[in-house]
Structure 1
């Protein structure tokens, strides 16, 4: 990667800047793979929330989950003026380090619910910890996603950064083995699982701290090296040679190369310096959102991402439940644990395998190929009907479909980075607004992310009410641990139908939307050339 000094580790060249970037994903995946697998199971089958409390909590979470991404993104982009720093990378690292510590605390709180609390107190705790956890997750991941756009505008470099993230995230996914080893649906035995979660949280906090410190040092070294070459006249904006040679103010240098500032950027610096009021801030927000919402590719991605987040969340939240119901009476507990762990590790391995294809053929072609493969696989499985309900086939379908679905999720940051480039190109922005675009891109996806558990909860109640409702028999600790394994053929058929039809509908919609996405080919090349010539940020 240009500007970074690679080091050898066991004969393999390692880019320190990209490695530290990836370590943040190690911490993120270590916690989030456990959260998405077990939080729903915990509150459904251990806490046994009343259905009304569960739905109210999820609706509150849905509203918060949808709103906090664009808000946190906007605040993150504006915070540099208050901090006095124009370097977007340094600013985002400060936010990630602080938010990461708070995230680990929220992660621990998720696993300590008041088991003896009343219906609404338990529901209030459920909604509160979900909102706190997601708020801190968003603070870290929005800024981490924005770093991908701020650190480089080159598609190959971004793919390399994403590949390093995949390596570290794959390593972080192995915490699912620890989770499965200690997980239990019996409240009196939950202490071991809770202590294991504290260990994971501490490891994640340490990883985030050292990742931010290492990335800051690598970024400062890169900037110092570029400064010696005379290639960095400003810590956040690299103007074109024509403007740089003429000297003068930043605005005049940008005008020299014909890249005038968008109303958002020029008014932004001036108004902040003068202490502009809330009305001016609101006008800038409205102006920015109008510009963003006029971009057709942004809307096409919103549609794709909305469906994708629903699909991914539905599969992650209910993976262990489906596996238990469809194959729990055939596979031993260690095998089930290995399958669950593989469902988190293999998508990152797949991202590594796909990275050369992304660099060679572009993001659009790779996503198109994955969607076509998923459509064919889901269609064949649906046509097989009863013959596909064997435990081994069901487990294989569950795992392979999740890997393909997650592969698209892993590529989405590259798509969002291209959207950042398009926005910067169309509106000739001189200031980084990448966090705002990352947050805005996630708006509809977060709504669907909250709807997925509610649909799954409702569907599983219909399939097997005993596992999702609270009654005297279910709370009898002397009985067997709640489980879906060993269910009848009718229940197994309903589970498999749900497992196949949900992704089949999702991928059909996505195929139709993705064909309309035009940020590819010659148009994308034109944008990249504009970025490299005069609008790059770092």
Structure 2
């Protein structure tokens, strides 16, 4: 029991450190490059396309290597985290220090920042997902891990609030930069602890055998199969396809909320109605509240299957968007803030549960093909191959729509030290932009929630807790 508690604690340290970086990165990088570096739309879209392509290559590549190779750094999940954590923390810092004001250099800066970040994000994140699956196959323990990890993620989610208040909503950019360095160091300490202490049940089995016979046995099955054979076994599974479509839409929605929450609030909610300090607190509370939601409701998952809990979120998305767009409108700032809060809270909270169905897919694959060792990395990596393009496509679509309504022009006019006569945006331009933003805010959850509700109905793995009851 002591060993298991140590495993859960170490895994939770990883989640805390990971969320410190990820929350801040997703929340700020689009705003920093759009509003401060004034990246041109063509470069922004080009960088997202390259980012998408790199995503398609590195996830399955790292996944297959992780499950099938014997390099020292890939041999255990904790070793992957231990050796890559310092570089992951460094990659987090790259976007916040401008290289040049030249438009080409700004574009190259974003391309480099995104690709480096995603490489290390994949390496560390993939190891963390596999740790979750391989620490235990007991569904009750997995729920306990989920709840404990969310306590750590609660700590990790403070990074946005720290940065908001330290920089006064990015008005003091130097203070923002100093705070990002502090966050990176703190995150590395937490991930270092995980890399030293988080042994899976398979790691412990190998450690007990001095000749590593167990390692040979564990890899005997997977090493005899090609990458393409394993991939086909995964993607031909109806449960996996159902989950991937659902997860893609969830990631698309979350990325939209993370990247554009501050931008939309700044335009849709007047500073006369809600002060900057209140906004900064709100931006920090949204990811914080999502963790509280998971922590407080996790015990329910021992009695109600997670499938039903996840489905309830999709129903909320559709109903919430419809009510906000057709019945409330965009002239009630506090109702809009409440909608942002609930939408972000439920979207992130539900996403935190997605390791449960994905781990069940891993277990089902192991049983179906009579494996002695789960191909966790391959399942998680193949999932990422289809899902992570949403991280690029979501901001690409939103930026393209916003710029059609003059967002780029309005930002340049607002930040230009010299404004020629007649250069200020007209009231009609501002109104059109606000209407477009409000349309996106409401219709993203309606459309995505509908797709998810349909796709999730094809997920057929029966929750083992439901069986026991």
1:404 matches 2:346:
yes
What is the rounded CA distance, in whole Å, between the counterparts of 2:335 and 2:380 in structure 1? 38
What is the rounded CA distance, in whole Å, between the counterparts of 2:241 and 2:466 in structure 1? 17
1:372 maps to 315
2:302 maps to 359
TM-score, normalisation: structure 1:
0.79
What is the rounded CA distance, in whole Å, between the counterparts of 1:324 and 1:17 in structure 2? 42
SS of 1:436's equivalent? helix
SS of 1:430's equivalent? coil
Select which of 437, 441, 444 maps to 2:379.
437
Q: CA deviation at 1:78?
A: 2.3
What is the rounded CA distance, in whole Å, between the counterparts of 2:446 and 2:312 in structure 1? 15
1:346 maps to 289
What is the rounded CA distance, in whole Å, between the counterparts of 1:51 and 1:220 in structure 2? 48
TM-score, normalisation: structure 2:
0.90
Kept in 1, the 8 Å contact 2:63–2:380? The answer is yes
Kept in 1, the 8 Å contact 2:166–2:179? The answer is yes
355-364 vs 56-65, which moves further: 355-364
Q: CA deviation at 1:461?
A: 1.6
Task: Describe the shift of the 1:126–1:523 C-alpha distance in structure 2 as closer, same or farther (beyond 3 A).
Answer: same
TM-align CA RMSD: 3.3
Kept in 2, the 8 Å contact 1:379–1:504? The answer is yes
Task: Describe the shift of the 1:314–1:199 C-alpha distance in structure 2 as closer, same or farther (beyond 3 A).
Answer: same
1:58 maps to 48
Q: CA deviation at 1:389?
A: 3.2
What is the correspondence of 1:443-482 to structure 2 with a 5 Å cutoff?
Answer: 443-466=385-408, 474-476=415-417
1:211 matches 2:194:
yes
Q: CA deviation at 1:511?
A: 0.4
Q: CA deviation at 1:192?
A: 1.7
Task: Describe the shift of the 1:235–1:401 C-alpha distance in structure 2 as closer, same or farther (beyond 3 A).
Answer: farther
1:111 matches 2:96:
yes
What is the correspondence of 1:7-18 to structure 2 with a 5 Å cutoff?
Answer: 15-18=5-8
Q: CA deviation at 1:492?
A: 3.1
What is the rounded CA distance, in whole Å, between the counterparts of 2:428 and 2:24 in structure 1? 25
Kept in 2, the 8 Å contact 1:4–1:222? The answer is no
Kept in 2, the 8 Å contact 1:304–1:513? The answer is yes
1:168 maps to 152
1:149 matches 2:91:
no
What is the correspondence of 1:217-236 to structure 2 with a 5 Å cutoff?
Answer: none
What is the correspondence of 1:29-428 to structure 2 with a 5 Å cutoff?
Answer: 29-79=19-69, 81-83=70-72, 91-116=76-101, 118-183=102-167, 189-216=172-199, 265-266=220-221, 268=223, 284-329=226-271, 330-386=273-329, 389-428=331-370
Kept in 1, the 8 Å contact 2:302–2:465? The answer is no
What is the rounded CA distance, in whole Å, between the counterparts of 1:145 and 1:501 in structure 2? 31
205-214 vs 148-157, which moves further: 205-214
SS of 1:411's equivalent? coil
What is the rounded CA distance, in whole Å, between the counterparts of 2:445 and 2:57 in structure 1? 26
1:4 maps to 2
What is the rounded CA distance, in whole Å, between the counterparts of 1:267 and 1:358 in structure 2? 32
What is the rounded CA distance, in whole Å, between the counterparts of 1:220 and 1:293 in structure 2? 25
2:453 maps to 511
Cα-to-partner distance string for 1:422-442 (whole Å, 9 max, x where unaligned): 110111112331011111112
Q: CA deviation at 1:391?
A: 0.7
1:278 maps to none
What is the rounded CA distance, in whole Å, between the counterparts of 1:186 and 1:324 in structure 2? 12
Count of matched residue pairs: 463
Q: CA deviation at 1:456?
A: 1.6
SS of 2:32's equivalent? helix
- The answer for unaligned runs of 5 or more in structure 2 is none
Structure number with bigger Rg: 1
What is the rounded CA distance, in whole Å, between the counterparts of 1:209 and 1:506 in structure 2? 37
Kept in 1, the 8 Å contact 2:73–2:80? The answer is no
Kept in 2, the 8 Å contact 1:389–1:496? The answer is no
Kept in 1, the 8 Å contact 2:20–2:157? The answer is yes
What is the rounded CA distance, in whole Å, between the counterparts of 1:444 and 1:468 in structure 2? 35
Task: Describe the shift of the 1:108–1:250 C-alpha distance in structure 2 as closer, same or farther (beyond 3 A).
Answer: closer
Q: CA deviation at 1:462?
A: 2.9
Q: CA deviation at 1:354?
A: 2.3
What is the rounded CA distance, in whole Å, between the counterparts of 2:193 and 2:90 in structure 1? 18
Task: Describe the shift of the 1:523–1:400 C-alpha distance in structure 2 as closer, same or farther (beyond 3 A).
Answer: closer
390-399 vs 442-451, which moves further: 442-451
